[in-house]
Each structure stands twice: as C-alpha cells, then as structure tokens.
Copies of this chain bind each other. A is one copy, B any other.
C-alpha cells in the first residue's frame, strides 16, 4: 500500500502539506479543550485539490476534518484521532465582484467575514452578519455552524443568507449548487441542509451569498433598565413601533459590566445611572427622510413613562457609537480575564427571556450558591449567552460543569428553546443533544449522516458520536 502522505503531498505540493511542528497551530481548538496532532494539514488551494484530498483520505481510511478560522466554541474543527487530516480552507479566500443589480456575491470558503465586509464597503451593499469573531471566522465555518450573531433576528442566520453552495462530498465528488437565486424549489433544500451540518456531510468550498443595501443612516442608544422583564417589554414595544428599522437589540447585565470595567481599564461607562440590565438598540434606514433619532427618542420617553427605562443616551458620533458597542462586545473578554468560566449558548422565545433568567438563577444557585451569572446576547431572537463565573474563592466550580449544563439545557428545552442556539454541537454538546432531544430526532440525524457519509470519515465525532 502506498503511504497516504506521499499521495497527499503529490496532490498538494510542498506548500500545501504541513506536518509535525508546522501543523501545531491547527491542532487545538479556540478554547484549548480539544484536538490531538493530526497526520497533517492539507492547505488546499482549489476545490479540485479538496476533492482529491478527500478521495485520497477515504481510500486510506483517514478521517477528514474541515477547518476555517478555527473559532468554534464547541471543538468542531480539530481532530480527536491521530489518523486524521485537517483540511484547511485558509488559502481559498477569494472574494468575487458583487452582483450589484441582484444583490449577491460569490466567495470562497476561506474568506474571513471581516474581509467580506471590507470588500463590499465601496459598493453600497453589505452582508448582514456581525459577530465577535468576524476577524478570524471564515465563511465556510460560518456556513458549517449556521452562524447567527447580532443581526440574525432581522436578516436571518447563515441558512437564510446562502443562495448557492459548492460542496465536496465525503466521497470526494463536487456538488455544484452555485445558484444565485432565493427561490429554488427543485428538490430537497440541500443548500440549507449543509448550513449547520458542521462539516460532517461534506466540505463547503464556495458559496453565493445574499447581500442587502447598506443603510444610509443609523441611530444607536444605550439604555439602562431595572430588570429583564423591563427589557422584554421594551423590546416588544420597539418591535411594534420601529419594526423595519431595528438592526440590533443587544443586552448585557450589570454583572458583566462590572467584570468588563474591572479588567479593561480603558473601557468607559459614561451614563450616570446603573441598572441590572443594559440594552444596545440600533435603528437603520435606507432613506434620509426618516427621523430615526426622533423615533428612538420617543421610544425612550415612552419607556421612562412606563418605568421600563431608568436612563439612556443616543450616540452622537461614530466614536460614541463604537463606545456603546465595545461595552457589549467586551462582555466575554471581561469574564475571561476574571478567571475560570462556564459558557452556555441558550435560546428561548424572546418573550420568555425574563422567565428564563429568573428560573435559571434559581437552578444555578441550587447547584452552587453564590455562583455569578453573566447573561448577555441577543434580545431579538432570545439568544442568551448564559455564562457563569465561580463564587469568589471557590474551587469546585468546574466539577459542576455537567450539572449546570444539564439543568440549563433542560430548562431551555422545556420552554420551547434550545441549548445549542448558534454555536452548534461540535464535540462538546453531543451528550446534551442525546438527553434533550428525542430518539426520533437523533435517529433521523444518524440516517442522514450514514446516507451522505457511509464510511463515517467526514469530521467524525462532531454533531454525532463517531461510528468508526
């Protein structure tokens, strides 16, 4: 039998194959919890190379692990067995010319989200996805995890923004589904299925994405609220009153604000009042004829009259707006610098957020009295990044990780929500999925996997248990 490394080197050339120390930067996941040394890293430059690599791995019985920016929070993009090849898409980062008349663009899977934003800037069009990792996260991984972010409630998740796809199947065939239309009902919605499949059904190599016109004006406000019930009521009011203008409805708590202000000395909070909850509201419009500031101000006034709003300020400049956003965006960093933490990615119906916060606190304090709860996220779609820090000085925190995850997942499930809202399952949440989702659902997923990847070599152990 021919050494598969010889075959892979031949396909990829010397620049395209990394092993040993050169492969180390690809080995561990973002949170440094998963990943063993793979046989090597295939840095493919073309779809044909990806296909040839997948075929060669299949013949040699090697696992294939697709990797984009390696920003998965669930360990979805690293190997858990040494007889694996990581297929990095980093060299396939081309961004095409946008179709200005139709509002779409073709991109390679390795393009970073921020690079796409930048490429679109001169054209008056935007790709409406924004998330913390956008500087590193790549389009293929965003598709694989069906990314959401702060504008998902308005513009949709990745599955709503993908028009067409090119995918290398687990058998090394190339599916050309590079259509550029929203309406394509010619059979099963494969383009939607690959969104969120976490690279277990094939490797996304190119995509055609939907674009929107860049708004011509914006208004942003930072709003201080007494509690989550007020935030939910005010959010519902805004959805009725300013529905089509709402592009962000982000929240964070005073626990998180304290941590961020403590650890990031250059961070500034400039309002006079503090509250339990903060909202970052953003309106945008394509028309200069709309008085967004007035609409936002009058909503604030209404909120104050109703006792839902304690204080608030509209951004008066781009720099001011950036300050508001930094308060929201530094929430994970503030908590990381505080020390150990446990992350949970919950969603519940947006009207049920306050109920979840209340019930979740009870559940968590039953498990560990004094645990510090730092929920932040996206009010518009009910997505709560429900992160925990230990009571100060306590050491048996991580030992309770399973209990917290279990209790919070079960609570979200009972409320009609999800324990894996926008980060996916990866390797981290398979057991949770097995406990929170019925056997019919998991069985359908097993069948889907076997149908597309009968040998089980495509990203094994992610999303489902490995059958190898």
Q: Are A189 and B185 within 8 A (Cβ)?
A: no
Q: Are A416 and B179 within 8 A (Cβ)?
A: yes
**Residue-wise interface mask of A (180-217) relative to B, using a CB-CB cutoff of 8 A (1 in contact, 0 not):** 11111111111011011100010000001000110100
Q: Are B440 and A447 within 8 A (Cβ)?
A: no
Q: Are B185 and A425 within 8 A (Cβ)?
A: yes
Complex alpha-carbon distance, A152 and B208, angstroms: 18
Top-9 shortest CB links A-B: A101-B351, A102-B349, A451-B451, A243-B286, A102-B351, A186-B420, A180-B416, A184-B418, A183-B421
Interface residues in A117-136 by Cβ distance below 8 A to B read 124
Interface residues in A211-245 by Cβ distance below 8 A to B read 212-213, 215, 232, 236, 239-245
- Which among B146, B183, B378, B416 is the interface contact of A422 at CB below 8 angstroms? B183
Which stretch, A11-19, A155-163, A264-272, A325-333, touches the partner chain B?
A155-163
Which chain B residue lies CB-closest to A436? B186
Q: Does A276 contact B (CB under 8 A)?
A: no
Q: Does A27 contact B (CB under 8 A)?
A: no
Q: Are B463 and A381 within 8 A (Cβ)?
A: no
Q: Are B186 and A418 within 8 A (Cβ)?
A: yes
Q: Does A55 contact B (CB under 8 A)?
A: no
Q: How near does chain B come to A227, taking the closest CB pair, in angstroms?
A: 15
- Which among B148, B177, B287, B418 is the interface contact of A179 at CB below 8 angstroms? B418
Chain B residues contacting A352 (CB-CB under 8 Å) are: 101-102
* Known A148-B183, A440-B169: A188·B448 in contact at CB below 8 Å: yes
Residue from A186, A452, A464 with most neighbouring chain B CB atoms (10 Å): A186
* Known A180-B416, A416-B178: A429·B186 in contact at CB below 8 Å: yes
Q: Are B189 and A349 within 8 A (Cβ)?
A: no
Which chain B residue lies CB-closest to A412? B181
Interface residues in A255-306 by Cβ distance below 8 A to B read 284-287, 289-291, 294-295
Complex alpha-carbon distance, A286 and B178, angstroms: 36
* Known A182-B157, A381-B183: A175·B440 in contact at CB below 8 Å: yes
Q: Are B347 and A184 within 8 A (Cβ)?
A: yes
Q: Does A445 contact B (CB under 8 A)?
A: yes
Which chain B residue lies CB-closest to A239? B213
Chain B residues contacting A212 (CB-CB under 8 Å) are: 243
Interface residues in A323-351 by Cβ distance below 8 A to B read 347-351
Q: How near does chain B come to A231, taking the closest CB pair, in angstroms?
A: 12
Q: Does A176 contact B (CB under 8 A)?
A: yes
Complex alpha-carbon distance, A287 and B450, angstroms: 50
Q: Are B349 and A145 within 8 A (Cβ)?
A: no
Which chain B residue lies CB-closest to A294? B289
Which chain B residue lies CB-closest to A243? B286
- Which among B180, B189, B240, B287 is the interface contact of A159 at CB below 8 angstroms? B189
Q: How near does chain B come to A185, taking the closest CB pair, in angstroms?
A: 5
* Known A349-B181, A416-B180, A422-B183: A447·B451 in contact at CB below 8 Å: yes
- Copies of this chain present: 2
* Known A241-B286, A286-B240, A445-B188: A99·B349 in contact at CB below 8 Å: yes
* Known A177-B441, A441-B190: A347·B417 in contact at CB below 8 Å: no
Q: Are B240 and A438 within 8 A (Cβ)?
A: no
Q: Does A49 contact B (CB under 8 A)?
A: no
Complex alpha-carbon distance, A349 and B183, angstroms: 10
27 A-B contacts (beta carbon < 8 Å): A99-B351, A101-B352, A103-B350, A124-B240, A148-B185, A157-B182, A159-B189, A175-B440, A175-B444, A176-B441, A179-B418, A181-B349, A181-B417, A184-B420, A185-B196, A185-B420, A185-B421, A185-B422, A185-B423, A186-B419, A188-B445, A189-B196, A190-B441, A215-B243, A447-B452, A448-B451, A451-B451
Complex alpha-carbon distance, A159 and B161, angstroms: 12
Q: How near does chain B come to A416, taking the closest CB pair, in angstroms?
A: 4
Q: Are B186 and A286 within 8 A (Cβ)?
A: no
Complex alpha-carbon distance, A244 and B174, angstroms: 37
Q: Does A104 contact B (CB under 8 A)?
A: yes
Which chain B residue lies CB-closest to A201? B188
Q: How near does chain B come to A420, taking the closest CB pair, in angstroms?
A: 4
Chain B residues contacting A179 (CB-CB under 8 Å) are: 416-418
Chain B residues contacting A420 (CB-CB under 8 Å) are: 184-187
Q: How near does chain B come to A42, taking the closest CB pair, in angstroms?
A: 21
Which chain B residue lies CB-closest to A240? B213
**Residue-wise interface mask of A (351-389) relative to B, using a CB-CB cutoff of 8 A (1 in contact, 0 not):** 110000000000000000000000000100111000000
